[in-house]
């Protein structure tokens, strides 16, 4: 049984802030790397060791076109060595946008009286899930504002509802959550409903900056948010996602904060975050933020490559906040998951009457509104292997990114065959036009790279899929 300090009323040190802004600034300001040091740090990462804060600062402070290219090349190489060419696909599903908080950057903030507030009821949620299944989605993330209506019991109810929706061959096999931080009991309730990852983004790791953007409501408490995923761990959720919202404060500080957070989780719970997200601020209703910290495309590309190298075995999530062009480039630096066919307006997957983005109904504006089919088509054109795999989590193999990384042959035995099988299902059930041929070609290329026995059993399962069986995995 896990130690539960809250039951004994002992203050738990792990629920205290582990970010020391002076330490982080000191490292950023005083680490002056030469080219050899930068290369040594890249080599350490390629040797599959995660980086310390000081080593992360070495990469952050590396300058000059050649060294930057070496960092990007290191990230490309690590991605190829560790993750191969798979890209996992998912879609966000906004369930409710009521909110008691006042985050300056968000269209859902309580003070935004223009926002059209909505919470999906069961039948609306089911319709949305059916529409997502009709597109071929298998993995979704439920997104919520912070409001007493969105209790742990309510979220758990939504999760069970989503898993129960089956349309044709469609079903959702992994439900992740992006919602407010909960207390330990709350996390336990949501965890027991069978979620995949619970994501909470710190937005900015800088405590003073944090106060400037979070003007009211529970979210104003920096420490409570920072320790959210410690409580999740205490509640038995060992699959968690962290993130920072780039544009609120200096990007270099946020990268250090993310690495510190990842290292903290690993040190305390022996399991780092499953995923890291790095959204950049997008336009939302009456967004009136200081542009001092706007993260340029160049800095964004650099920071993704640095994150890849700093935390080699953590999944990196890139969303439709970015344009297709930026997504195309950043994918190479080690992104492992992207969304496709994303819509943010509540109810808009099933209600297709109004295709225009309307900021009064959305949290922010996205920059990639391509359908899932279009995103898959482009991935195939670039020889990526689109994947809807949910196998590890359902087989109880949690911490799969770590296994991909540390267990020899894991990717070739599990990840690639499962990606192939889920793509085969997609092509049989939802593939259209040229995508079908491109998809089978990519499947063929990847089968050829598998060991004979694994390739044989994957081919055998593909035949069963063609004959109508579904949900086959290793
Ligand atoms: N309400 C919950 C919270 O704040 O944690 C969870 C969901 S919130 C809808 C999801 C994330 O969207 C936030 O954590 C924030 O990083 C991001 N976000 C908010 N406003 C944004 C904007 N204008 N542009 C890009 N991302 C934004
Ligand atoms: Fe509410 Fe989350 Fe938006 Fe903040 S980011 S206003 S908590 S929905």
Q: Which atom of ligand 2 is nearest to the CA of 97?
A: 8
Q: Is 148 inside any structural domain?
A: yes
CATH number at residue 318: 3.20.20.70
Mutate to test the pocket of ligand 1, among 200, 243, 245, 346 (most ligand atoms within 8 A of CB): 245
Ligand nearest to the CA of 105: 1
pLDDT at 467: 98
Read out DSSP for 380-411?
HHTT-EEE---HHHHTT--SHHHHHHHSTTHI
How many angstroms separate the alpha carbon of residue 224 from the centre of ligand 2?
15
Which residues form the domain of 40? 15-77
Q: Is 270 inside any structural domain?
A: yes
Q: Is 9 inside any structural domain?
A: no
Q: Is 298 inside any structural domain?
A: yes
Cβ of 145 less than 6 Å from ligand 2: yes
Q: Both 196 and 318 in a single domain?
A: yes
Q: Both 92 and 197 in a single domain?
A: yes
Q: Is 418 inside any structural domain?
A: yes
Cβ of 411 less than 6 Å from ligand 1: no
Ligand nearest to the CA of 200: 1
Q: Is 107 inside any structural domain?
A: yes
How many angstroms separate the alpha carbon of residue 123 from the centre of ligand 2?
25
Mutate to test the pocket of ligand 2, among 150, 219, 344 (most ligand atoms within 8 A of CB): 219
Nearest-angstrom CA–CA distance, 187 and 189: 5
Domain boundary among 49, 77, 105: 77
Q: Both 118 and 234 in a single domain?
A: yes
Q: Which atom of ligand 1 is nearest to the CA of 219?
A: 4
pLDDT at 1: 43
Cβ of 104 less than 6 Å from ligand 2: no
Q: Both 66 and 114 in a single domain?
A: no
| Three-class DSSP category at 406 | helix
How many angstroms separate the alpha carbon of residue 214 from the centre of ligand 2?
9
Cβ of 219 less than 6 Å from ligand 2: yes
Whether residue 401 contacts residue 82, with contact meaning beta carbons closer than 8 Å, is answered with no
User: Quick one: how many helices (H) and strands (E) in the chain?
Assistant: 21, 11
How many angstroms separate the alpha carbon of residue 104 from the centre of ligand 2?
9
How many angstroms separate the alpha carbon of residue 114 from the centre of ligand 1?
18
Cβ of 362 less than 6 Å from ligand 1: no
CA distances from 282 to 105, 107, 114, 216, 337 (A): 8, 10, 18, 21, 20
Is the Cα torsion angle 271, 273, 275, 276 positive or negative in sign? negative
pLDDT at 364: 82
Ligand nearest to the CA of 229: 1
How many angstroms separate the alpha carbon of residue 332 from the centre of ligand 1?
25
Q: Both 37 and 120 in a single domain?
A: no
Domain boundary among 324, 354, 370: 370
Cβ of 105 less than 6 Å from ligand 1: yes
Per-run averaged pLDDT (10 residues), the chain, 474 residues: 52 80 98 96 94 98 96 95 91 97 94 93 98 98 98 98 97 98 98 97 98 94 97 95 97 98 93 95 79 94 98 94 95 95 94 68 86 98 96 78 69 92 98 97 97 97 98 95
User: How do residues 222-232 score in pLDDT, each as one tens digit?
Assistant: 999 999 999 99
Cβ of 201 less than 6 Å from ligand 1: yes
Q: Both 185 and 229 in a single domain?
A: yes
Cβ of 99 less than 6 Å from ligand 2: yes
pLDDT at 126: 98
Burial of 283 (0-12, 13-18, 19+ CB in 10 A): middle
What's the DSSP call for residue 246? B
Q: Both 218 and 320 in a single domain?
A: yes
Count of domains observed in the chain: 3
Q: Both 44 and 189 in a single domain?
A: no
pLDDT at 406: 65
pLDDT at 354: 62
Ligand nearest to the CA of 277: 1
Q: Which atom of ligand 2 is nearest to the CA of 100?
A: 1
Q: Both 303 and 451 in a single domain?
A: no
What's the full length of the chain, in residues? 474
Read out DSSP for 316-343?
EEE-TTS-HHHHHHHHTTT--EEE-S--
How many angstroms separate the alpha carbon of residue 106 from the centre of ligand 1?
6
Q: Both 271 and 298 in a single domain?
A: yes
Cβ of 241 less than 6 Å from ligand 1: no
Q: Is 278 inside any structural domain?
A: yes
Pair type for strands 166-167 and 139-144:
unpaired
How many angstroms separate the alpha carbon of residue 206 from the centre of ligand 2?
18
How many angstroms separate the alpha carbon of residue 143 from the centre of ligand 1?
9
pTM of the model as a whole: 0.95
How many angstroms separate the alpha carbon of residue 162 from the centre of ligand 2?
23
Cβ of 178 less than 6 Å from ligand 1: yes
Q: Both 59 and 114 in a single domain?
A: no
Q: Is 45 inside any structural domain?
A: yes
pLDDT at 247: 95
Q: Which atom of ligand 1 is nearest to the CA of 106?
A: 20
Q: Both 112 and 45 in a single domain?
A: no
Domain boundary among 24, 59, 77: 77
């Amino acid at each position: 049984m896990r130690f539960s300090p809250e039951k004994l009323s002992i203050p738990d040190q792990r629920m205290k802030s582990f970010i020391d802004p002076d330490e982080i600034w000191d490292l950023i300001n005083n680490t002056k790397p030469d080219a050899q040091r930068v290369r040594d740090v890249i080599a350490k990462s390629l040797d599959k060791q995660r980086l310390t804060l000081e080593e992360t600062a070495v990469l952050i402070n590396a300058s000059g076109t050649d060294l930057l290219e070496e960092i990007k090349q290191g990230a490309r190489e690590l991605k190829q060595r560790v993750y191969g060419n798979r890209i996992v696909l998912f879609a966000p599903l906004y369930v409710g946008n009521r909110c008691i908080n006042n985050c300056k950057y968000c269209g859902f903030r309580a003070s935004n009286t223009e926002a059209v507030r909505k919470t999906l009821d069961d039948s609306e949620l089911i319709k949305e899930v059916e529409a997502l299944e009709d597109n071929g989605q298998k993995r979704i993330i439920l997104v919520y504002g912070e409001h007493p209506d969105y209790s742990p019991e309510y979220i758990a109810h939504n999760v069970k509802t989503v898993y129960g929706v089956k349309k044709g061959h469609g079903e959702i096999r992994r439900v992740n959550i992006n919602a407010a931080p909960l207390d330990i009991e709350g996390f336990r309730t949501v965890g027991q409903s069978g979620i995949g990852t619970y994501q909470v983004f710190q937005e900015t790791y800088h405590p003073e900056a944090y106060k400037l953007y979070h003007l009211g409501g529970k979210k104003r408490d920096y420490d409570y948010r920072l320790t959210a995923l410690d409580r999740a761990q205490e509640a038995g959720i060992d699959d968690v996602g962290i993130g920072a919202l780039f544009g609120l404060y200096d990007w270099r500080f946020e990268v250090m904060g993310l690495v510190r957070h990842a290292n903290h989780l690993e040190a305390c719970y022996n399991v780092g975050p499953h995923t890291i997200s790095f959204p950049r601020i997008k336009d939302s209703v009456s967004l009136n933020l200081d542009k001092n910290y706007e993260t340029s495309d160049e800095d964004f590309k650099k920071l993704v490559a640095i994150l890849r190298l700093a935390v080699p075995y953590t999944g990196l999530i890139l969303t439709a906040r970015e344009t297709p062009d930026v997504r195309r480039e950043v994918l190479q630096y080690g992104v492992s998951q992207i969304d496709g066919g994303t819509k943010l307006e509540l109810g808009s997957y099933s209600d297709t009457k109004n295709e225009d983005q309307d900021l009064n109904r959305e949290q922010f504006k996205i920059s990639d509104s391509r359908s899932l089919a279009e995103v898959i088509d482009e991935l195939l054109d670039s020889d990526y292997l689109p994947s809807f795999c949910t196998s590890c989590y359902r087989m109880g193999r949690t911490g799969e990114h770590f296994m991909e990384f540390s267990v020899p042959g894991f990717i070739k035995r599990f990840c690639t065959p499962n990606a192939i099988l889920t793509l085969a299902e997609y092509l049989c059930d939802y593939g259209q036009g040229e995508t079908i041929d491109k998809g089978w070609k990519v499947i063929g290329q990847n089968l050829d790279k598998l060991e004979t026995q694994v390739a044989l059993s994957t081919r055998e399962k593909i035949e069963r899929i063609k004959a109508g069986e579904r949900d086959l995995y290793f």
